Amino acid sequence: MEIKKVGVLGCGLMGSGIAQVAGTAGFDVTVLEVEQKYLDKGFAGIEKSLAKLAEKGTLKESPEAVRGRLKGSTKQEELADCDIVIEAVIENLQEKKKMYGTLDAIIKKDAIFASNTSSISITELMTATRRPERFIGLHFFNPVPLMKLVEVVRTIATADNVYETAYEFSRKLGKVPVRTSDKTGFIVNRLLVPYLLDAIRAYEEGVGSIEDIDNAMKLGCGYPMRPFTLLDFVGLDTTYYITHVMYDEFKEQRFASPPLLKRLVMAGWYGRKSGKGFYDYSDPNSPKANRL
Ligand code: CAA
């Protein structure tokens, strides 16, 4: 099957990034949101990112040409003729299932449904629809326009031709796809989450300060983003949610949330997006580690 028209559910950080890369790759894209104000915010981010990429000379066309293929909508019916729909809404199982159930009746029968979830079971999401063989995971990484990886996730019910179509589609987006199966966390979070949680535990145990642990991993291992910087970047609420899903699945201590992570989330310190997390972002150009 050929993919021509792409639907994206959600115009937040991930949804807008996915829409942007699909538009850049030449696909017609419709992004669905519940309110116009979320579309406006997401499209402003896309325009800023496209301008930056154009300035660096990494866009093959003008930002306007890419933007011309992207459309925002608050009407589910406008996604009816999409060949693939990629969902990137808030990580809430019940919300996602409700949305899939409604869209299943609206979107054409042979369209592929893909979720960008980082931790929720694709198999469980699939049960909200009557197209289990046409349901997969496509897990992108933040910031989507820059990060090359897509995890292509299959369930025991995914049809081979659907999986291969999605794999090729990821390539057409200019990404490098990897094959993985529906085990919570897939490849990246299975390895990344225990590492990030260990950084918090190391701090709790007094192994080093936030800055020193951060610098150690950047300068000693060459990681592009330091652990506490990455935690604040991903979002502490998101990380906390992922720990619950992963711990619930595997019942292993390495996926359990350290007490400090819970305290930060309870206090509303979600990281960069809330202005405060392991670092204080009052001056975004010079974040200062908080004393925790
Ligand atoms: N669009 C276009 N350009 C962007 C951009 C975007 N969305 N975001 C950043 N840039 C630009 C910056 O403006 C900057 O431009 P200049 O060189 O002109 O200043 C350039 O990209 C480089 O950015 P930075 O100088 O800020 O920093 P950097 O060299 O460290 O690169 C990075 C940024 C690619 C994000 C790099 O830090 C990196 O690879 N970080 C790791 C990110 C990561 O691990 N992501 C995965 C998170 S986990 C996840 O997403 C999944 C999950 O399930 C939780």
Q: pLDDT, tens digit, for every residue of 141-176? A: 999 999 999 999 999 999 999 999 999 999 999 999
Q: Is residue 291 part of a domain?
A: no
Question: Atom 11, ligand 1: which residue's CA is nearest?
Answer: 52
Is the CB of 234 inside a 6 Å radius of any atom of ligand 1?
yes
Is the CB of 146 inside a 6 Å radius of any atom of ligand 1?
yes
Residues 130 and 236 in one domain: no
Residues 114 and 136 in one domain: yes
Q: Is residue 258 part of a domain?
A: yes
Residue ending a domain, among 181, 208, 243, is: 181
Number of structural domains (the chain) is 2
Residues 150 and 204 in one domain: no
Q: Annotated catalytic, 285?
A: no
Compute and round to an integer the Cα radius of gyration of the chain.
Answer: 19
Residue ending a domain, among 181, 214, 246, is: 181
Strands laid side by side in the 70-73 sheet = 70-73, 28-32, 5-9, 84-87, 112-115, 135-140, 149-154, 176-181
Average pLDDT in the 170-199 region? 97
Cis peptide before 143 (omega within 30 of 0): yes
Residues 211 and 118 in one domain: no
Which amino acid is present at 41?
Answer: K
Atom of ligand 1 nearest to the CA of 56: 18
Residues 240 and 114 in one domain: no
**Helix 236-250 and helix 259-266: axis angle, to 10°?**
140
Q: Is residue 11 part of a domain?
A: yes
Buried b (16+ CB within 10 A) or exposed e, 157-190: bbbeebbebbbebbeebebebbebebebbbbebb
Apex CA 177: angle with CA 135 and CA 189, to 5°? 80
- What separation in Å is there between the alpha carbon of 80 and the centre of ligand 1? 34
If we measure between CA atoms, which residue out of 122, 51, 53 comes closest to residue 86?
Answer: 122
pLDDT at 163: 98
Residues 71 and 209 in one domain: no
Check whether 18 has a pLDDT greater than 90.
yes
Q: Annotated catalytic, 133?
A: no
User: In this structure, what DSSP letter does residue 270 have?
Assistant: -
- Using the structure block, give the residue that is written with the tokens 């999401």: 125
Instruction: Copy the structure tokens of residue 79.
Output: 């996604």
Residues 166 and 23 in one domain: yes
Q: Which residues constitute the domain of residue 155?
A: 5-181
pTM above 0.75, yes or no: yes
Residue ending a domain, among 150, 181, 212, is: 181
Indicate which residue of 16, 33, 116, 151 is catalytic: 151
Q: What is the largest CA-CA distance in the chain?
A: 56
Q: Is residue 292 part of a domain?
A: no
Residues 206 and 101 in one domain: no
Residues 197 and 177 in one domain: no
pLDDT at 118: 94
Check whether 1 has a pLDDT greater than 90.
no
State the Cα–Cα distance between residues 210 and 226, nearest whole angstrom: 10
Residues 163 and 209 in one domain: no
Average pLDDT in the 238-262 region? 97
Check whether 222 has a pLDDT greater than 90.
yes
